[in-house]
Structure formats: structure tokens, C-alpha cells
Structure 1
């Protein structure tokens, strides 16, 4: 038995740009990952990040 086709179009939200909850959550998670990776690099090499990058 086939399913009936919908008779109305779904009400989809318009895409959001700029500051919104999803973008803020994504940026926060990326910042946390970057911070943890920086700590891991400093711990494993015994040098600070600037030294590791050759800036100091």
C-alpha cells in the first residue's frame, strides 16, 4: 500500500544568518577544541605555542 501524498507544503524556517544560537554553539565548541589542542601541544612538546609556531 502506498502512502498518500501530502496536501499542504511544510512550513520550513528560513535560513538564519549572523548571530544565532546554532552559530554561537558551534563557535564555542570550536574554541574549546582549539584550547584543548593548544594545551596538548604545549604539554607534549614542552614548549609554549608561540615557540612551537616559531614566533618567539
Structure 2
């Protein structure tokens, strides 16, 4: 009697959009870069970000 082969799960890559680990890492890195840039603007210009943008 022949026994069927076990089914194999296909190797599928995670999507690069939507709520997944890749998107969360990318968003976190962008937030860190933005925060550092904001600190640099405030340090070198001597005024807050809103003042520097002319919104205050």
C-alpha cells in the first residue's frame, strides 16, 4: 500500500507592505532619524523647531 507524501508548506516571503515586522522596523528607523534631525536643528539654530519653521 502506497502512503502519500506529507504536504510541504511553500516558502513565501513576507510582504513588504502593511502591518508586518519590516514596516515596523522601517517606521521606527525613520522616526529615529527625524528625531535626531530635529535635535540638530534646535541645537544649531538656537530655536525650537516650530520657531525655525516660522510657525510660532
> Shorter-chain TM-score category?
0.7 to 0.9
Partner of 2:47: 47
Distance, in Å, in 2 between the alignment partners of 1:36 and 1:14 is 30
Unmatched tracts of structure 1, length 5 or more: 1-10
Unmatched tracts of structure 2, length 5 or more: 1-10
Matches within 5 A, 1:1-56: 11-13=11-13, 15-56=15-56
For the pair shown, which has the larger CA radius of gyration, 1 or 2?
Answer: 2
Q: CA deviation at 1:16?
A: 4.8
Runs of 4+ in 1 over 2 A off after TM superposition: 11-17
CA separation of 1:14/1:36 partners in 2, compared to 1, >3 Å: closer, same or farther? closer
Pairwise CA RMSD: 1.9
TM-score (norm 1): 0.73
Q: CA deviation at 1:13?
A: 2.9
User: When the two structures are aligned, how many residues end up with a matched partner?
Assistant: 47
TM-score (norm 2): 0.73
